[in-house]
């Protein structure tokens, strides 16, 4: 497996392109080319269906929000990174392992000094401030690009509760852009300034966090845990919850679901681990947080999903800042066994997925180079569920009678809403290689036998084996594979 191989292939084949490249590019921004956009869309669709099946609702809220939202959420105060500046070349760097005031400048070797805390939100101004543009009006017009999609869900909590007929627990999902004005991102997909998050916020009665109704469905799943104290190792979710490594069943259930989803779309299980945040790296809103980390050949262990227990932090903050009642009446078991109504602020369990990093992980872990005869075959072994293109249809030779028949088969499959491609340029071998490189699971070839008996060959990407099937059965072969 080659690291540069996949980066080069991703650019050449239209998966990922550096944004604004004709103007020299900009660190922290990437575009999805045609195949990347299709891959991303399929991953998002798989994610959405996965959580809709949990009975969750999807909503869509805004990217821009007024400053008071982030005053309440704590992001204005706490969503910051420490920076250092080089005394010599004036370059700024984010303080991290390897870069701190006592180190040397990574650019010129000069001396570094502290440059203070930087808030990571992109700031903007909403509208033309009314009245004289005095300090208060300026302040009121401050807006920010959201650093997470979650706040839009919290702000609508009361309406969502009513939509769920005033019952807890319930879950709400959102897929959308989020933004972090990183101090010094490199030109890679790993630390983006604009990225796509897929987040689920699960609202639960605080006293019921240890009683997830479907915990049994996940309890035997074995994961690799790296707790912030104690030894790392493989454990079942049930063991991890019972032994106190994971704080409660809800958190355990959602950690297990994260792994189930990642495995389903094709992230290899042996490249995944769940690492608990240390107290000093936890977000300001989190009581506990576990990262799903993917082992990248290029970058080492990297976070691709975070699962946090946010407690009542967000709802309580918004309740007091907006002077709104976020309490919910719930049935509680009283001591004598009789039910009584109590008012609680729900707790929030949040699985938060970084879609772009997942796309990177899929590209890297699906990429294989192998010797076939005297050629090197490059192939993306995407699962059928996420492959951008399901099948390609080829005429064996560049002759009208074969091309017409191939176009007919192509159109037939498109009409069945199966996303297929047509290709008649270059040798058949070259066309196979091209489809291997973009991860297409099947190639359908029309030859002279097709004109006689209406059969085609279907070549499978990974085994490179071919079978001959009647045209009428092609759809079934592809659909079964889905």
Q: Under rule CB under 8 A, which residues in 118-177 are in contact with its own copies? A: 118, 122-128, 130-132, 143, 145, 152, 155-156, 158-160, 163, 165, 172, 177
Q: How far is the CB of 286 from its own copies (least distance, A)?
A: 23
Does position 73 interact with its own copies (CB under 8 A)? The reply is no
Q: How far is the CB of 162 from its own copies (least distance, A)?
A: 9
Q: How far is the CB of 425 from its own copies (least distance, A)?
A: 7
Q: How far is the CB of 109 from its own copies (least distance, A)?
A: 17
Q: Which is nearer to its own copies, 197 or 240 (CB)?
A: 197
Does position 240 interact with its own copies (CB under 8 A)? The reply is no
Q: How far is the CB of 365 from its own copies (least distance, A)?
A: 22
Q: How far is the CB of 46 from its own copies (least distance, A)?
A: 12
Q: Which is nearer to its own copies, 160 or 396 (CB)?
A: 160
* Phi, psi of 114, deg, nearest 5: -65, 140
| Locus of tokens 């987040």 | 199
Among 95, 112, 183, 363, binds its own copies (CB under 8 A): 183
What's the Cα-to-Cα distance from 381 to each of 161, 319, 388, 455, rounded to whole Å?
42, 48, 12, 27
Among 102, 425, 452, 463, binds its own copies (CB under 8 A): 425
> What span, in angstroms and rounded, lies between the C-alpha atoms of 166 and 341?
13
Are 254 and 202 in contact by the 8 Å Cβ rule? The answer is yes
> What span, in angstroms and rounded, lies between the C-alpha atoms of 84 and 70?
25
> E strands, 381-417, where?
391-395
Among 75, 191, 193, 310, binds its own copies (CB under 8 A): 193
Are 112 and 87 in contact by the 8 Å Cβ rule? The answer is yes
Q: Which is nearer to its own copies, 82 or 242 (CB)?
A: 82
220: nearest Cα among 234, 200, 204 = 234
Q: How far is the CB of 431 from its own copies (least distance, A)?
A: 13
Report H helices in 120-180: 135-140, 150-155, 157-163
Does position 282 interact with its own copies (CB under 8 A)? The reply is no
Are 478 and 459 in contact by the 8 Å Cβ rule? The answer is no
Q: How far is the CB of 405 from its own copies (least distance, A)?
A: 19
Sites for its own copies among residues 98-117 (CB under 8 A): 115
Among 7, 43, 65, 471, binds its own copies (CB under 8 A): 65
Sites for its own copies among residues 20-59 (CB under 8 A): 20-23, 26-34, 36-38, 40-41, 49, 52-53, 57-59
Does position 335 interact with its own copies (CB under 8 A)? The reply is no
Sites for its own copies among residues 381-420 (CB under 8 A): 414, 417, 419
Does position 359 interact with its own copies (CB under 8 A)? The reply is no
| Locus of tokens 């991102």 | 185
Q: Would you state the structure tokens that stand for residue 67, as one six-digit string?
A: 């400053």
Cβ neighbourhood burial of 59 (10 Å; 0-12, 13-18, 19+): middle
240: nearest Cα among 208, 273, 268 = 273
Q: Would you state the structure tokens that stand for residue 133, as one six-digit string?
A: 């543009």
Number of residues that bind its own copies (CB under 8 A): 80
Does position 318 interact with its own copies (CB under 8 A)? The reply is yes
> What span, in angstroms and rounded, lies between the C-alpha atoms of 461 and 436?
6
Q: Would you state the structure tokens that stand for residue 125, as one six-digit string?
A: 């101004």
Q: How far is the CB of 271 from its own copies (least distance, A)?
A: 26
- Pairing mode, strands 233-236 and 375-380: unpaired
């Amino acid at each position: 497996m080659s690291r540069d191989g996949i980066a080069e292939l991703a650019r050449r084949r239209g998966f990922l392109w550096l944004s604004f490249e004709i103007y020299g590019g900009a660190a922290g921004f990437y575009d999805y080319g045609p195949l990347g956009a299709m891959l991303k869309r399929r991953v998002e669709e798989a994610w959405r269906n996965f959580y809709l099946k949990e009975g969750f609702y999807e909503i869509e809220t805004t990217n821009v929000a007024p400053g008071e939202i982030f005053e309440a959420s704590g992001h204005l105060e706490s969503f910051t990174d420490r920076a250092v500046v080089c005394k010599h070349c004036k370059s700024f760097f984010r303080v991290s392992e390897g870069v701190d005031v006592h180190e040397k400048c990574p650019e010129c070797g000069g001396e570094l000094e502290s440059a203070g805390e930087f808030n990571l939100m992109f700031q903007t101004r909403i509208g033309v401030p009314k009245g004289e543009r005095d300090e208060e009006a300026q302040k009121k017009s401050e807006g920010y690009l959201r650093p997470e999609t979650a706040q839009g869900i919290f702000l609508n909590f009361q309406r969502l509760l009513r939509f769920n007929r005033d019952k807890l627990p319930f879950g709400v999902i959102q897929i959308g852009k989020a933004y972090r004005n990183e101090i010094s991102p490199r030109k890679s997909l790993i630390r983006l300034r604009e990225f796509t998050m897929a987040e689920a916020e699960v609202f639960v009665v605080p006293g019921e966090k240890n009683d997830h109704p479907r915990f049994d469905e996940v309890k035997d799943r074995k994961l690799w845990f790296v707790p912030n104290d104690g030894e790392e190792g493989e454990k079942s979710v049930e063991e991890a919850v019972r032994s106190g490594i994971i704080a409660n069943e809800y958190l355990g259930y959602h950690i297990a679901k994260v792994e189930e989803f990642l495995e389903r779309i094709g992230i290899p299980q042996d490249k995944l681990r769940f690492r608990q945040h240390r107290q000093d790296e936890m977000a300001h809103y989190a009581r506990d947080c576990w990262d799903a980390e993917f082992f990248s050949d290029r970058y080492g262990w990297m976070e691709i999903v975070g699962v946090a227990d946010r407690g009542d932090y967000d709802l309580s903050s918004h309740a007091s800042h907006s002077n709104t009642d976020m309490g919910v009446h719930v049935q509680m078991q009283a001591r004598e066994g009789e039910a009584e109504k109590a008012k609680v602020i729900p707790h929030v369990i949040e699985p938060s997925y970084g879609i772009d990093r997942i796309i990177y992980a899929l590209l890297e872990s699906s990429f294989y180079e192998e010797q076939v005869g005297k050629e090197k075959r490059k192939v993306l072994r995407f699962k059928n569920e996420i492959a951008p293109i399901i099948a390609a249809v080829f005429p064996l030779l560049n002759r009208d009678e074969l091309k017409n028949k191939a176009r007919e088969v192509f159109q037939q499959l498109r009409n069945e809403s199966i996303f297929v491609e047509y290709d008649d340029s270059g040798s058949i071998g070259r066309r196979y290689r091209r489809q291997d490189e973009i991860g297409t699971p099947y190639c359908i070839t029309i030859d002279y036998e097709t004109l006689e008996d209406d059969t085609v060959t279907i070549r499978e990407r990974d085994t490179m084996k071919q079978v001959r099937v009647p045209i009428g059965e092609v759809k079934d072969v592809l659909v079964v594979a889905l």
